[in-house]
Structure 1
Amino acid sequence: MPPEPPSDARLHAVEMSGDPGAVEGPLRGYHHETYVISLPPRPGRLDPGRWKCREPRSNLFWFDRRCFASEEQLLTALRGRVSRIPDVIDVNGCGLQRFIEGGTLGSVHGSGQGVPDAVFGQIVDLFGQLADVDADDLAVDRRCDAADRPTDGDTNGFLERLVHFTEERVYVANLKEFEELFTALGVEADAFKQLRKHVAGLQERPFCLLHADLHRENFIIDPDRRLWTIDWELAMVGDPLYDLATHLYLMRYPERQARRMAKQWRATVEEVRPGSAKGMEEDLDRLIAYKRAQSVFTDVIRVALELGSEPDPHWTRLVRSGLKLRQILQDAAGPLGLDQVPSPRRIMAVLTRWCRAREQESGLN
Structure 2
Amino acid sequence: MGEPGVDAAAVRRALVGLGREPVGELTLHRVGLGQSNLTYRVTDERAGVWVLRRPPLGELLESAHDVLREARVLTALAGTGVPVPQVFGVLEPGAVGADAAPAFVMSWVDGTVVDRMSVARDLAAGDRRALALSLVRTLAEVHRVDLGATGLDGLATRRPYAPRQLRRWSAQWESSRTTALPEVDALTERLHAALPDEHETTLVHGDFHLRNVITSADRVVAVLDWELSTLGHPLADLGSLLAYWAEPGEQGLDDFLPSTLEGFPSRAEMVAEYAAASGRDVSDIGFWHALGLWKLAIIAQGVLRRATDDPRNRATEGTPTTEGIAAVVTRAMAVADELGTAPSTAGTSPARHRGIRT
Output the TM-score relative to the length of structure 1: 0.66
Displacement after TM superposition at 1:124 (Å): 3.4
Residue matched to 2:173: 171
Q: Is the 8 A contact 1:67 1:142 kept in 2?
A: no
| Structure with the bigger percentage of helix | 1
Deviations 1:322-341 (A, max 9, x none): 54244223223355979xxx
Amino acid in structure 2 at the alignment position of 1:286: F
The answer to whether 1:31 aligns with 2:36 is yes
Displacement after TM superposition at 1:266 (Å): 0.5
Residue matched to 2:55: 56
Displacement after TM superposition at 1:187 (Å): 4.4
SS in 2 for 1:70: helix
SS in 1 for 2:270: helix
Quick one: structure 1 residues 81 and 59, their matched pair in 2 at CA, closer, same or farther if it must change by over 3 Å? same
**Which residues of 2 match residues 321-336 of structure 1 at below 5 A?**
321=321, 323-333=323-333, 335=336
Instruction: State the alpha-carbon separation in 2 of the partners of residues 296 and 223 from structure 1.
Output: 30
The answer to whether 1:129 aligns with 2:141 is yes
Residue matched to 1:232: 226
Instruction: State the alpha-carbon separation in 1 of the partners of residues 220 and 152 from structure 2.
Output: 27
**Which residues of 2 match residues 144-293 of structure 1 at below 5 A?**
149-151=157-159, 157-168=160-171, 170-174=172-176, 178=178, 181-182=179-180, 185-187=181-183, 189=185, 192-197=188-193, 199-200=194-195, 202-222=196-216, 227-252=221-246, 253-254=259-260, 256-270=265-279, 276-277=280-281, 280-281=282-283, 283-293=284-294
Deviations 1:3-60 (A, max 9, x none): 789644544334434644x41312233233332224688xxxxxx8521122222335
Instruction: State the alpha-carbon separation in 1 of the partners of residues 9 and 58 from structure 2.
Output: 19
Deviations 1:212-258 (A, max 9, x none): 22212112124796632222222222111111111121233358532
The answer to whether 1:109 aligns with 2:126 is no
Q: Is the 8 A contact 2:214 2:224 kept in 1?
A: yes
Instruction: State the alpha-carbon separation in 1 of the partners of residues 67 and 153 from structure 2.
Output: 6
- Decide which moves more: 8-17 or 233-242: 8-17
Displacement after TM superposition at 1:77 (Å): 1.5
Question: RMSD between aligned alpha carbons?
Answer: 3.9
Tell me the percent identity.
Answer: 17
Amino acid in structure 1 at the alignment position of 2:173: Y
The answer to whether 1:88 aligns with 2:87 is yes
SS in 2 for 1:89: strand
Amino acid in structure 2 at the alignment position of 1:120: A
The count of residues paired between Structure 1 and Structure 2 equals: 294
Instruction: State the alpha-carbon separation in 2 of the partners of residues 296 and 91 from structure 1.
Output: 31
Deviations 1:51-91 (A, max 9, x none): 11222223354598689953222222211113431012238
The structure showing larger relative contact order (alpha-carbon pairs under 8 Å, at least 6 residues apart) is 2
Amino acid in structure 1 at the alignment position of 2:27: V
Instruction: State the alpha-carbon separation in 2 of the partners of residues 307 and 66 from structure 1.
Output: 17
Q: Which has the larger radius of gyration?
A: 1
The answer to whether 1:100 aligns with 2:109 is yes
The answer to whether 1:73 aligns with 2:72 is yes
Amino acid in structure 2 at the alignment position of 1:125: R
Q: Is the 8 A contact 1:13 1:35 kept in 2?
A: no
Instruction: State the alpha-carbon separation in 1 of the partners of residues 4 and 155 from structure 2.
Output: 31
Output the TM-score relative to the length of structure 2: 0.67
Amino acid in structure 2 at the alignment position of 1:166: W
Unaligned runs of 5+ residues in structure 1 are: 42-47, 152-156, 271-275, 311-316, 339-365
Q: Is the 8 A contact 1:66 1:236 kept in 2?
A: no
- Decide which moves more: 114-123 or 51-60: 114-123
